[in-house]
Structure 1
Amino acid sequence: MWLGVIIQAVLLLAFMLVIYLWFAKLRKNVVAQLAALEQRLEFSAQQQEHGKHELEELRAGVIGVGQRVLQLDAGLAQLNSQLSADMQQLADKQQALELTDPESKIYSRAMKMVQLGADLEEIMRECELPRAEAELLFNLHQQKQL
C-alpha cells in the first residue's frame, strides 16, 4: 500500500515538474516576445520623433518659400507699376515729339491713311511721300496685322 502511494507521489511530482518546466519555457517565450515588442515600440517611437523633426523642417521650409514668393510677388507688382509708368511716359514723349516734328506728322497721317485702307498712290499724293517710303509704311502695317 505504501508502495502505491509512493509511486503516485513520484508520478505526481514528475507531472508537476513537467508542468513547471513547460510554464518556465512558456514564460521565457513570452518574455522574449515582450522584449521584441518593446524594441519595436522603441524603434517606432524613434521613427515617429524623426518624422516629426522632418515635418517641422519641411514646414519651416515651406513658410520660407511662401515668404519669398510674397516678396517676389511684391517686387513684380512694383516692377509692373514702374513699367506702366515708364510706358506712359514714353507714350507721352512720343506724342509730344510727334506734335513738334512736322515729318513725324506726315508719317503719322500716312499710317492712319494706310490703316483706313487708302491705296499707295493716294498716300504718295496726299502726304507727298516717295514710293519707297509709302511702300515701307504698307509693309509695316501688314506686319502689325499679322
Structure 2
Amino acid sequence: MVVIPAVAILLVIFVVWQHRLQQQQIRQLAERIAGVSAQQPNQSAELEELRSGVIGVGQRILQLEQALQTIEFNQQALASELEQLTEHQQKIQLFDPDSRLYSRAVKMVQLGAGLEEVMRECELPRAEAELLINLHRQQTS
C-alpha cells in the first residue's frame, strides 16, 4: 500500500509542475499582449498618417489630371488656331503675287543667293533686295 501514496505524491508533484509551467506561459503571453497593446497607439498613429498621405496624394493627382486636361484643351485650341492661320496665310499667298515674290526672295537669301541673283529672279529693285539681305544677316548674327 505504500505505492498509492507514492503515486499520489508523484501525481501532486506533476500537477504542481504543470501548473507552474502554465503560469509561466500565461505571464509570457500577458507580457506579449502588453507589448502589442503598447505598440497599438503608435501603429494607429502611423496608419492615420498613411491614410492622410494617401488622401493628399490622391487629391494632388486629381489636381494634376485637371491641369493636364486644361493643357491638352489649350493645346488643341492652339493647334486649331495655328491650322486656321496657316490656311489663311496660304490663301493670302495664293492671291498676292507680290507676297509670293518676297517669300521666294527671302528663301533665296536664306539659301545664300547673292544680290544680283535675287534682283534678277524675283524682279526686285536693288534697295529691296539689299534690305532683305541685310535683314537676313542681322537675324543670323
Distance in 2 of aligned mates of 1:145 and 1:96:
29
Amino acid at match of 2:87: D
Distance across 2 between alignment mates of 1:136 and 1:76: 41
Correspondence 1:71 to 2:66 = yes
The code of the aligned residue for 1:80 comes to Q
Distance in 1 between residues matched to 2:60 and 2:122, nearest whole Å: 59
> Displacement of 1:135 after TM fit?
3.2
Instruction: Measure, in 2, the Cα distance between the counterparts of 1:91 and 1:114.
Output: 22
Aligned to 2:82: 87
SS at match of 1:106: helix
C-alpha change, 1:96 and 1:55, in structure 2 (3 Å) is: same
Residue of structure 2 in register with 1:50 after alignment: 45
Match among 104, 117, 121 for residue 116 of structure 2? 121
Q: Matched residue pairs, number?
A: 111
Deviation at 1:98, TM superposition (A): 1.6
Report the more deviating stretch, 46-55 or 73-82: 73-82
Aligned to 2:21: none
* Equivalence for 1:101: 96
Q: Distance in 2 between matches of 1:95 and 1:140?
A: 23
Gaps of 5+ in 1: 1-29
Q: Give me the identity figure in percent.
A: 42
**Corresponding residue for 1:9?**
none
Deviations 1:58-116 (A, max 9, x none): 10111111122222222212211111111111111111112222321221121232244
Determine which structure has more spread, i.e. the larger CA radius of gyration. Answer: 1
Root mean square deviation, CA, Å: 2.8
Return the alpha-carbon distance in structure 1 between the equivalents of residues 92 and 132 of structure 2.
19
